[in-house]
Structure 1
């Protein structure tokens, strides 16, 4: 069996993908708009060590597989790849065709992969030092790289598109403003923004609502960038971003808390303490807006330590269903006042980021290296497919800390629409 034919069988013969291999073999339809090129025996070795998604990802990141054509189109067509689709006789024929050497070759994972042994030395999952290293792995890549991918807003979370033709910047502004309106922000209030990234929500609340805001992030590069942006905007009297764990915030009595894209890093075992901590930071009548990626149901795995996302993108990341998150919030005393799913908006956000990376590809490779740039191209395109196919969702949940008489302080009907 020719090498290209083996890969075609792994990916699927109906995927409309062409295959080229270093042995000169070809497979797939002529004129296909996407081609997967297997460039060396090391690609086969990666697949032998980790059949399926992870092996293919390692080979691509390391440069032993190339993609000619659109990455999103490729991943959309090979969504359900699995070597289990090969029959026993086909697997035997594959081994004979490849020869023993590639199958016995031991090749280390690309350096962009986070080793579990490295994390294990820093404590149990979601210990403070281990969380700091996991965040550093993903967010301290390069502020310049993130500027190219995210655009001027430097918002690394799902945007909210007021209409399908809106620009990314318009949609990110809309997202921050939606959060502000759900929280009922007014001049003189105090807001805590946990997992604040590059300070987008911090600066939006300070500039447009006159709110005094404290943002915290575990990424040193994010904090430095945000503090400079705050100074450049002349918002020092209202806005501050600190490089610190949210669990180390000592201030209390906030009117509102925003958590935009942090819950995914908390871990199921820590959700009660997380929401309890945020509950304790609020005044009676204070509101929490929790914005995070979720699973579509409570049946899927919360944590896949052997998957591509965990090893290359979000080490120790865990996703829960929105129902589970809401139950934790309710059990701690939050009254849920609003909830919405924005998964289609995240697919569109990611498409903008992919386009930005394509436009700035040469600069990005020079800045962070080919391997890291490929991690991002693969991960973001794959996430578009995931959100489109309802494998992951994005939910905003608004909770209120009631006062002693059970009053929420929420208007009988909101004065503005919460789209």
Structure 2
């Protein structure tokens, strides 16, 4: 009997118990630690494996999501089962979300692990240099994320090479169908017609540019700060026989000369430019439009006014360095102040959760090839990032908004139909 009790005591060693204080008790999550301790039901759909005491050291040095992410990226923590399910079970995981007294108790318990097993942050973390949102620093930040590998992005994004929220006709629609539907939605809102001139800022791999040229006969120019994206996009334009209508340049949106464009699309750029630059950004887009021209701004937003605008520490260090999210109200106000009449707005956050679901599925399908292309650490960054962001959209922690504005004619006419913002309903 004594031996049974001793073994039982060994099976509940402090490591899993300590983590249970942070993670909470949930029937969907089991924790198994390197010291043999465990918590949670054996039949839980997800098991969190703490493989090394270094993981606990990371939780002390960077409490909350960043410490957990560092441990996951370095394989010091692993997950059996669906990562999205695991994160949903740990949705409130952060030492900062528990009472101060309990937080200090946890730190005291973990401090010996930090002293003995402290490690520098993984070298995959971004460290852009220079003034925040200067041209040089923005170029570094964009390169960190987008110049990873075009081949890797092909594995994740699929044939459309579109790295923005899709628009799903229904939840079972394919990713390619949904991305094409998104581009067509934007084209409809912009009222594109053959012969029009479109400027697409932050164009990525040129999906919008190619769709507008191919499906609507529009003469489209796309600009991106990523050299890898620009090279891939221009090659795709040539390959698809669209060179007489479409072009993508490696260029800062601030360096696009003012001209007379009929429409501007901005799909996933606003998150990168910073709050201080947003007024100038909208003014510059306004200056590039003819009277009656329209702008569609599509971006991730905060659902409420945040205490700080930087993204989650893990996202900030590993995925979108220097990214800043605004509320939809502030973006609408800035568009209005820049001169646009705002005609339509909608939230597509559920669609982004579905998009991330499908990107995650693509990554798992091509996992071995993805690891061979970019390494296990970066592949794990992406696996974690997509699962975490999907959960963020599920829980309304982040949103995705499209805002449509028009540069009025001198007589203040808009050119819009009487019914609906863009004649679609």
TM-score (norm 1): 0.94
Deviation at 1:14, TM superposition (A): 2.7
Structure 2 spans left out of the alignment, 5+ residues: 1-12
**Aligned mates of 2:103, 2:389 — CA distance in 1:** 31
**Aligned mates of 1:169, 1:320 — CA distance in 2:** 29
Task: Name the SS of the counterpart of 2:159 in structure 1.
Answer: coil
The answer on 1:373 being equivalent to 2:398 is no
Structure 1 spans left out of the alignment, 5+ residues: none
Asked if structure 2 preserves the Cα contact closer than 8 Å seen for 1:134 and 1:316, the reply is: yes
The answer on 1:144 being equivalent to 2:156 is no
Task: Name the SS of the counterpart of 2:404 in structure 1.
Answer: strand
Task: Name the SS of the counterpart of 2:31 in structure 1.
Answer: strand
Give the alignment of 1:299-378 within 5 angstroms.
299-304=306-311, 307-378=313-384
Deviation at 1:100, TM superposition (A): 2.3
Task: Name the SS of the counterpart of 1:349 in structure 2.
Answer: helix
Given candidates 399, 409, 418, the residue that maps to 1:403 is 409
**Aligned mates of 2:172, 2:106 — CA distance in 1:** 51
Deviation at 1:90, TM superposition (A): 8.7
Change (3 A) 1:82 1:414: closer
Task: Name the SS of the counterpart of 1:80 in structure 2.
Answer: coil
The answer on 1:114 being equivalent to 2:120 is no
Change (3 A) 1:418 1:156: farther
Change (3 A) 1:414 1:206: farther
Change (3 A) 1:261 1:272: same
Asked if structure 1 preserves the Cα contact closer than 8 Å seen for 2:57 and 2:111, the reply is: no
Task: Name the SS of the counterpart of 2:257 in structure 1.
Answer: coil
Deviation at 1:102, TM superposition (A): 3.5
Asked if structure 2 preserves the Cα contact closer than 8 Å seen for 1:336 and 1:398, the reply is: yes
Deviation at 1:214, TM superposition (A): 0.4
Cα deviation code 1:2-34 (max 9, x no counterpart): 111111221112363111111111111121111
**Aligned mates of 1:267, 1:160 — CA distance in 2:** 26
**Aligned mates of 1:102, 1:259 — CA distance in 2:** 45
Task: Name the SS of the counterpart of 2:181 in structure 1.
Answer: helix
**Aligned mates of 2:185, 2:120 — CA distance in 1:** 46
Asked if structure 2 preserves the Cα contact closer than 8 Å seen for 1:337 and 1:400, the reply is: yes
The ranges of structure 1 where at least 4 consecutive aligned residues each deviate by more than 6 angstroms after the TM superposition are none
Cα deviation code 1:309-329 (max 9, x no counterpart): 111110010111111000011
Asked if structure 2 preserves the Cα contact closer than 8 Å seen for 1:188 and 1:212, the reply is: yes
Change (3 A) 1:111 1:15: farther
Asked if structure 1 preserves the Cα contact closer than 8 Å seen for 2:302 and 2:398, the reply is: yes
Per the alignment, residue 163 of structure 2 pairs with 156
Given candidates 238, 241, 257, the residue that maps to 1:231 is 238
**Aligned mates of 1:406, 1:330 — CA distance in 2:** 14
10-19 or 344-353, which deviates more: 10-19
Deviation at 1:111, TM superposition (A): 1.3
Per the alignment, residue 4 of structure 2 pairs with none
Asked if structure 1 preserves the Cα contact closer than 8 Å seen for 2:194 and 2:216, the reply is: yes
Given candidates 16, 36, 41, the residue that maps to 1:24 is 36
Per the alignment, residue 10 of structure 2 pairs with none
Given candidates 277, 281, 293, the residue that maps to 1:274 is 281
Deviation at 1:417, TM superposition (A): 5.6
**Aligned mates of 1:48, 1:204 — CA distance in 2:** 49
Deviation at 1:418, TM superposition (A): 3.8
Per the alignment, residue 250 of structure 2 pairs with 243
Q: For the aligned residues, what is the CA RMSD? A: 1.9
Given candidates 197, 200, 204, the residue that maps to 1:197 is 204
**Aligned mates of 2:326, 2:270 — CA distance in 1:** 9
Change (3 A) 1:109 1:242: same
Cα deviation code 1:299-353 (max 9, x no counterpart): 453125x711111110010111111000011111100111110000000010000
Deviation at 1:89, TM superposition (A): 7.2
Per the alignment, residue 5 of structure 2 pairs with none
Per the alignment, residue 128 of structure 1 pairs with 135
Cα deviation code 1:365-385 (max 9, x no counterpart): 110011101111111101111
Change (3 A) 1:8 1:170: same
How many corresponding residue pairs? 412
Per the alignment, residue 265 of structure 1 pairs with 272
